[in-house]
Amino acid sequence: MYEDFFPIKRDFVFLEESISTNSDLKGLIYEKSLPVFSVICADRQSGGRGRLGRSFYSRAGGAYFSVSFPLSGQEKNIPFMTLLAGLCVSEVIEELTGVKTEIKWPNDIYYNGRKLGGILTELISKNGLTAVVGIGINLSVKEEEIPCELKNIMTSFEAEGLTAPERNTLIRRITERLDIFIYEKKLLSRENEEITGRIKERSFSIGKAVKYKTAEKEICGTVTDITPCGAAVLSLSDGTKKEIFCGELTQ
């Protein structure tokens, strides 16, 4: 049904500061203060959030934005949205700057072994489901400004000596591509080998030895594939394979 609205016309809201653009967008859509197709962007966040309850360092000058996607109910694979967003971010960055980033399963954008950006997908349920995809990309943080505890973990265009993309162009292009993936190509409703191939080509995770914690134990293996559903395939030392659909792979 939402494909009838394609190409999607979105309302963009630009803020100097937000606590978290995901929280703002969820609240405003829920109370119907913003149209269902909206984007909130902020220059900085005072309480940027990441997956698994973590915080996301969001000092001024980054690209911090959240995009709402009302869903029709036909979508079989909502978690795939995070990987699709990662693909959009990585491809658009390369098109605008020539910089080749990698996608660390399931939600991080990596450059030179450190995190350049991250994606947090959340859902709201009111008159149907709406996904809110929050994207943070570190543009202007200088190496010496990176907090000690994040020194080996995060990076930015500035810290790597790279020319950052123009922020509004970056945000608009990523949003437009995600709209095409979700509403024109309907990639949450059907598997697509070509798109999975594009994600795999940019994968940071494939070939890496990782650990995965379940409630009972820790599993060690090597990431050997990403399935068309977006699961990471771990090959274990006993020769078996395990598909991981959610959670975290650590090195």
Q: Kindly state the smallest distance separating residue 247's Cβ from ligand BTN, in Å.
A: 12
Q: For 61-126, where are the alpha helices, taking DSSP H only?
A: 80-97
Query: For ligand BTN, which is the closer residue by CB, 39 or 206?
Result: 39
Residue 220, burial from CB neighbour count under 10 angstroms (0-12, 13-18, 19+)? exposed
Residues 6+ apart with CB under 8 A from 25: 34, 38, 39, 40, 66, 67, 68, 132, 134
Q: Kindly state the smallest distance separating residue 139's Cβ from ligand BTN, in Å.
A: 12
CA atoms within 13 A on the CB side of 163: 7
How far is residue 72 CA from its own chain's centroid? 21
Query: For ligand BTN, which is the closer residue by CB, 48 or 70?
Result: 48
- In DSSP notation, 109-167 reads EEETTEEEEEEEEEEEESSSEEEEEEEEE--S--GGGS-GGGTTTB--TTTTTPPPPPH
Q: Kindly state the smallest distance separating residue 143's Cβ from ligand BTN, in Å.
A: 20
Binding site for ligand BTN (CB under 6 A): 20-22, 45, 48-51, 54, 56, 64-66, 107, 118-120, 134-136
Query: For ligand BTN, which is the closer residue by CB, 3 or 145?
Result: 145
Query: For ligand BTN, which is the closer residue by CB, 146 or 222?
Result: 146
- In this structure, how many other beta carbons lie within 10 angstroms of the beta carbon of residue 136? 28
Q: Kindly state the smallest distance separating residue 40's Cβ from ligand BTN, in Å.
A: 9
Q: Kindly state the smallest distance separating residue 112's Cβ from ligand BTN, in Å.
A: 17
Query: For ligand BTN, which is the closer residue by CB, 3 or 17?
Result: 17
